[in-house]
């Protein structure tokens, strides 16, 4: 969307250089820049609890393949709510969880499509008048229902190829089904791991030795370090269920007992990194438990030690 005329007063805009932006449409009367933008809509990949996909047909868009549910958010409506509303309006299915996957530019319509995975409970469709048909597809059928190169196809691929890498510092087997869901509540324990005397588990979390990027247990620094990880894919500690929170605490007690016996540390650091900026290198919540020793050079330095240095002052 480009503004030749001012949407406020209707006068023709001039062009101005504003900061780094050259030739920005500018209304001299209202003293206001009118930056061009692309409309934004939401696109939902609808998935049930068994990873079946629901797609629709709308003959005015495409007659030869199925498509996802798309729509414009209402003014002031959060995009997640728009996803829930559109899916319900067009298919009759209530959305339990919404997870953002990525954004896609639709060149023909100069539109940004925000792609979401929308988890619903499997059910019968009650389609709206705008929709010609809706159909469930088993996981292996879904891709062939979609037009190659369409945005719903890209969203589908991004969803199923979602690389769920394991957190730095875990000794887990690297087998995670590609459908290991992005939804915290789909709790069928996608992680596969083998327990030995170094590894611990309870109902919903495991405790495993921290390892470096090559899978080796630390033996010179971070001695005796462990991580606690939910068995389901939980992106951050803010997504932990009450049960996982409780089981994390229980695991912490289990590990402390083991570590006290084996390493007899003089202290502990315990913490989560949340988000890339805060140093989270893998999309799983993982709680670090780091034994500390009085003879190590950084003895006496806590979690905030580096962060509170003057070099870390924001500009």
Binding site for Zn ion (CB under 5 A): 6, 8-9, 27, 29-30
Residue 194: enclosing H or E segment and its boundaries? none
- Least distance from C-beta 15 to Zn ion, angstroms? 14
Q: Long-range contacts for 28-35 (Cβ within 8 Å, ≥24 apart)?
A: 30/6, 32/6, 32/8, 34/3, 34/6, 34/7
Q: How far apart are CA 213 and CA 254, in angstroms?
A: 25
Cα distances from 293 to residues 132, 207, 228, in angstroms, run 68, 21, 21
Are 288 and 270 contacting, i.e. CB atoms less than 8 angstroms apart?
yes
Q: How far apart are CA 70 and CA 118, in angstroms?
A: 12
Q: Whose CA is closest to 111, among 43, 24, 54, 64?
A: 43
When the beta carbons of 9 and 299 are compared against Zn ion, the nearer one is: 9
When the beta carbons of 37 and 306 are compared against Zn ion, the nearer one is: 37
- Least distance from C-beta 27 to Zn ion, angstroms? 3
When the beta carbons of 7 and 177 are compared against Zn ion, the nearer one is: 7
When the beta carbons of 26 and 159 are compared against Zn ion, the nearer one is: 26
When the beta carbons of 13 and 232 are compared against Zn ion, the nearer one is: 13
Q: Is 135 left (phi over 0), alpha (psi -120 to 50) or beta?
A: beta
Cα angle for residues 158, 161, 165 (degrees, 5° grid):
115
- Least distance from C-beta 40 to Zn ion, angstroms? 24
Tokens standing for residue 92: 């009759």
When the beta carbons of 27 and 191 are compared against Zn ion, the nearer one is: 27
Q: How far apart are CA 247 and CA 225, in angstroms?
A: 19
- Least distance from C-beta 26 to Zn ion, angstroms? 9
Are 248 and 256 contacting, i.e. CB atoms less than 8 angstroms apart?
no
- Least distance from C-beta 25 to Zn ion, angstroms? 10
- Least distance from C-beta 76 to Zn ion, angstroms? 24
- Least distance from C-beta 16 to Zn ion, angstroms? 13
When the beta carbons of 4 and 148 are compared against Zn ion, the nearer one is: 4
Helix segments in 111-265, DSSP class H? 151-160, 242-263
């Amino acid at each position: 969307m480009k503004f030749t005329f001012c949407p406020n007063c209707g006068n023709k805009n001039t062009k101005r250089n504003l900061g780094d932006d050259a030739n920005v449409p500018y209304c001299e009367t209202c003293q206001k820049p009118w930056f061009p933008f692309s409309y934004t809509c939401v696109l939902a990949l609808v998935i049930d609890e068994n990873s079946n996909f629901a797609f629709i047909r709308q003959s005015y868009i495409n007659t030869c393949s199925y498509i996802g549910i798309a729509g414009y958010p209402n003014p002031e409506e959060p995009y997640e709510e728009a996803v829930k509303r559109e899916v319900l309006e067009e298919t009759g299915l209530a959305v339990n969880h919404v997870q953002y996957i990525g954004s896609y530019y639709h060149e023909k319509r100069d539109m940004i499509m925000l792609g979401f995975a929308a988890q619903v409970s499997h059910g019968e469709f009650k389609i709206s008048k705008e929709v010609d048909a809706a159909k469930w597809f088993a996981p292996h059928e879904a891709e062939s229902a979609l037009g190659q190169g369409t945005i719903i196809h890209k969203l589908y691929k991004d969803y199923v190829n979602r690389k769920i890498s394991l957190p730095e510092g875990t000794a887990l087997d690297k087998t995670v089904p590609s459908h290991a869901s992005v939804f915290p509540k789909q709790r069928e324990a996608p992680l596969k791991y083998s327990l030995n005397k170094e590894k611990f588990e309870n109902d919903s979390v495991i405790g495993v030795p921290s390892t470096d990027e090559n899978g080796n247990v630390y033996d010179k620094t971070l001695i005796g370090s462990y991580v606690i990880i939910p068995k389901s894919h939980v992106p951050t500690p803010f997504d932990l269920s009450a049960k996982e929170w409780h089981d994390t605490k229980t695991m912490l007690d289990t590990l402390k007992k083991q570590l006290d016996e084996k390493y007899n540390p003089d202290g502990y650091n315990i913490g989560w990194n949340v988000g890339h900026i805060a140093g989270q290198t893998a999309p799983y919540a993982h709680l670090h438990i780091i034994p500390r020793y009085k003879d190590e050079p950084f003895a006496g330095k806590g979690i905030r030690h580096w962060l509170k240095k003057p070099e870390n002052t924001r500009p």
